Every structure is written in C-alpha cells, then in structure tokens.
Amino acid sequence: MFVNEEAKIVSSKPSISWVSTDLLEDRIDSFTFKDYIIENDKLFSSMNNVVELKDLLVKNHRGKGLTSNPNGKIPNLKVRNITNNGINLEDVDLIDENEFEKNKTAHVKKGDVLLAVTGVGSLGKVDLYWSEKKATVDGHVNILRTNEKCDSGYLRSFLHSKYGQIFIQKYTIGSTGQTELYSSDIAKFKIYLPNMNIQQYIGNKVRKAEELREEAKQLMSQVYELINIHFSLDSFENEIKDNYKYDFVSSNYLEDRLDAEYYDPNLIKLFTHLSKMGFKFVNLGNVSRMVFTGENVESTWIAPDKKVPLIYIGNLEGYFVIPSDSEFIDENNVRNWEKSFAEFGDILFASRGSLDCLINRISVYFDEDKKGVITSNIIAVRLDQNLIRTGYVISVLKSIIGTYQIIKHSWGVAQKGLTANDVSKIVIPLLQINEQLEIEEKLIQSFKKLQEAKKLINEAKQDVEDLIEGKFDESKISEGV
C-alpha cells in the first residue's frame, strides 16, 4: 500500500485508490487515479527541476483538417505519419500552395515536436520535425514548439519515455472507440528539466537520428533512380499517360483466368517495352528456395517477456520490415519452424487487405541478428541468392513493374487477396549480377542507417529515464554523440 498526504493506493489489482479532493480537477474517472499514475505524480512532486510544460512552450495547439490535392507538393502530416522512430513520408497526403497559405496555424517548422493526440494505438506517438521543407499537420496532431529553456529533442525524448507516456495516459479521455488528448491538458504535464548541456546531449541523439534517416532516404532515392534508368520507366510512363482502359489481347497472353485486371493493357505494354529492350525474365517461384504463408498465431502465445518478435502486415513499412517492439512469443509454441520464421533476405508480402495495402506492404527482412515470426496474413519469399539478389528484387517490386503485377494477381472486391501461388507467378526482369549487387548494397546501407537512427532514438529515451531514476552518467556528455 502506498500512502501520502493526498492519495492512498489500496490495491493495484484491482486498482483502488483513495484521493484527496485537492487532487480532483475537471474530470473524475478511475483511470486518472490508477496506482502507477498516482506513483508517477508523487515522484515528480518530490523532485527538483520539475516544471509544467506550458512554461516551456511558445506554441501548443493542433493542426487543421485540410483539403488534399494529389498534385500538391506540400506534406500534410497525419497520425499515421508519426511513428516514434521518425516521421514517415512514404504514405503522406499532399496539399497545394494555396491551401498551405490559407492555414498558417497548421504550419510546422524545423525543431517542432509533433504529438499524435487521437486514436487508440496511435495516441502518444511522438517525433521531431527536422526539415526546412514546408509542411502542415492535421487536426489529430499537436504542434509543440519550445522556448529557449527547453531543447526540443530533449522534450521529444521525455514524451517518448515511460514517464512522459504516463502523463499522456493520465490526461487522455474517451473510450476505445475514440480517444483524445487536448492541448490544454498537455500544458499540465510535469517535465523534469536538467541543465542545458544534458538536454542538448540527449537532443543531439534525436537530431543525429534524423540526419541518418535523411541519408537513408537519399540512398533509397538512388535505388529508385537506378531502377528507372535500367528499365527506362520514366519514358514508358510518359507513353501510357493516356491510361488505356481497354485493348485487344493476343491469345498468346491468355491464361486460366479472365478478368480486366489480369489483362491490364498497361501491364501488357510494360512487358512489351521491357522485351524490346532485350531483357530476360524469371518467375519468383523459379528463383526461390521457399514461398510460404506465415503462422496462425494464438493470442495465448504472446508475452512481453519473450524474445521472438511478431511480424504483422503493419510491420511491413516501406522497403524494410520493422518487427513489433511490443509483441513477442515463445518460440516453443511455433508449430512449423521452417515456415514461420523470417530470416535475413526474406521478402514479405501482405496477403489480405485493400489493393493499396497489397501494393505498399511489400518489404524485405534485413535483420541479421534475430529472426521474427510472420503471421498468417503474410507470404514470405526466400530467394536463392545464387540466382538473384534480394535487394534487387524488392526494388523491382516497389516499382511499377511490381505494382502492375500485384494488381494483376490479386483477387476479391473490397477485400483483396494473394496466395503463395500468385506471388510465385510474379515476373522479374533480369539485370547483370553486378548491377543487382550495386542496387542491393545501397539498400543494405540505407537499412543500416535506419537501424542506427532507431538505436539513437532509443538511447535518448533511455537517457531520460536514467536521469529521472538517478542513473544517468554525466561523464558521457564530454564524449558527444
């Protein structure tokens, strides 16, 4: 039992507390006074150098819902773009210059801390905007702009820490249907504020992580450019800009399926274009050691103290698989070892979802240190690296060559699907092995930079927790980041 002058924790399970009326604010609910929230409040009340967040901010409000324009150039960041590991610009809505100028309160600038404030599973995610480029945020993202007393990278790390997350949980309202965190409540957060040298040391880790992410992005741009150059895809896309809706199909192309998507005129024109360039082709099934579907994971297998991460469709982010940081299983529960674990070089496909999901959720597993268990809505392709390189194949799949074929082989109406057999039929044009290796090396270097960035983000978070717990080693500051 924990007791102080204002609160008494009677029981943790179930959570029962007695609280003084002095602690009651403008809301009364059981969640606000859970045992760990009361203990967190007590901790911050007992510490020196604790201030309210409102005293560290010059800007604290949400963005706005803006009108998207597919021809726009300016990102409008949403909750899905806030990841805790850097802002994701792979799937971003765009607005035009006119919409940007009309909505100045939604503008973000370099150094702003962006906090997701709506939605179960997303609320509480936080990132640092570290770019000179124009951008806005929508009404489900809160902009936090610090004054000279607080390093913005430090604030981002504090909010990411377990202590910052407890304040976020304390002030979140709503049920599982819709949760919200308001700017007026964010202002009440208690922040431990060390001297500026320590703040900057921690903040520099976040900024270095953002620089590494930008370097990784540049490498990915080079990969994209190499694929376009090798296959003259830009010139081909100009040829088909009229977007043909129908065409005559030679009997040579007919297979055991008859529908419009399967014989998309643009796909046929694409492979005619590649054939005229002299490329040879292989089916994925013919250059793979295995093509298999993942494990039907049972909820009872999941435990936070286990070591094998789960890989869901949502973990297929961009080019690279990002395994779950929170859901792990006991490997002894896995029924089929050979067809459950993703290993270095495996390409993973979403097998259920919208068409956009099937097109965008194709990623490569580049983690050499550990394996992850793939779930049943994922198809894995394990290539024979002596025949074709993984980094090259994923780059082709991410181009229009892969996109058109996913459209071709998917089936269903609102909910689309792919089978292992469908994936095996996907065709890859062949480059020389040295050209494949050049592309793959850029991908691997990009992945390593992203991993180093993630490591720095986690170190910064841990530094904040060590500070609050009295375990931070100040001698590290002289070493720099």
Give the Cβ contact number of residue 239 at 10 Å. 12
Q: How far apart are CA 457 and CA 453, in angstroms?
A: 6
pLDDT of residue 243: 57
What is the per-residue pLDDT for 118? Answer: 94
CA distance 237 to 403: 13
Reply yes or no on whether the pLDDT at 480 is more than 80. no
Q: Are residues 177 and 251 in the same domain?
A: no
Q: List helix spans (H) across 178-232.
A: 183-186, 196-231
pLDDT-derived band at 262, boundaries 50, 70, 90: low
Quick one: pLDDT at residue 400?
93
Clarify whether residues 158 and 296 are in a common domain.
Answer: no
The confidence score (pLDDT) of residue 18 equals 62
Q: 446 in a domain, yes or no?
A: no
254 & 389 share domain: yes
Q: Each residue of 6-15: pLDDT tens digit?
A: 666 766 666 6
User: Quick check: is 445 in a domain?
Assistant: no
Same domain, 397 and 278: yes
CA-CA-CA-CA torsion for 97, 156, 23, 175, nearest 10 degrees? 60
Give the tokens for residue 83. Answer: 């990841």
In tens, the pLDDT along 367-400 reads: 887 778 888 899 999 999 999 999 999 999 999 9
Grade residue 2 by pLDDT with cuts at 50, 70 and 90. Answer: very low
Instruction: Report pLDDT for 247.
Output: 61
Residue 285 and residue 391 share a domain: yes
107 forms beta bridges with: 136
Q: Are residues 395 and 338 in the same domain?
A: yes
Query: How many domains does the structure of the chain reveal?
Result: 3
Please give the share of the chain, as a percent, with pLDDT higher than 70.
84
Residue type, 96: D
pLDDT at position 1 is 36
Residue 428 has pLDDT above 60, yes or no: yes
pLDDT at 296 over 90: no
Task: For 125-153, give the DSSP string.
Answer: -EEE---SS--EE-TTEEEEEE-TTS-HH
- Show the domain range for 202: 51-212+454-479
Pull the structure tokens for residue 239.
């040829």
Phi (first) and psi of residue 374, to 5 degrees: -90, 145
Cβ contact 164:189 at 8 Å = yes
Within the chain, what is the greatest distance between any pair of CA atoms?
Answer: 85
Report which of residues 110 and 13 the model is more confident about: 110
CATH number of domain containing 293: 3.90.220.20
Q: Cβ distance 86 to 209 under 8 Å?
A: yes
**What sign does the CA torsion over 245, 246, 252, 253 have?**
positive
Q: In this structure, is residue 473 part of a structural domain?
A: yes
Mean pLDDT (whole number) for 335-350: 83
Whether residue 159 is contained in a domain is answered as yes
pLDDT at position 35 over 90: no
pLDDT at position 77 is 97
Radius of gyration of the chain (CA): 25
- Greater confidence (23 vs 136) lies with 136
Per cent of the chain over pLDDT 90 is 63
Q: Quick one: average pLDDT of 149-165?
A: 98
The answer to whether 65 touches 92, Cβ cutoff 8 Å, is: no
Say which residue, 133 or 325, is predicted with more confidence.
133
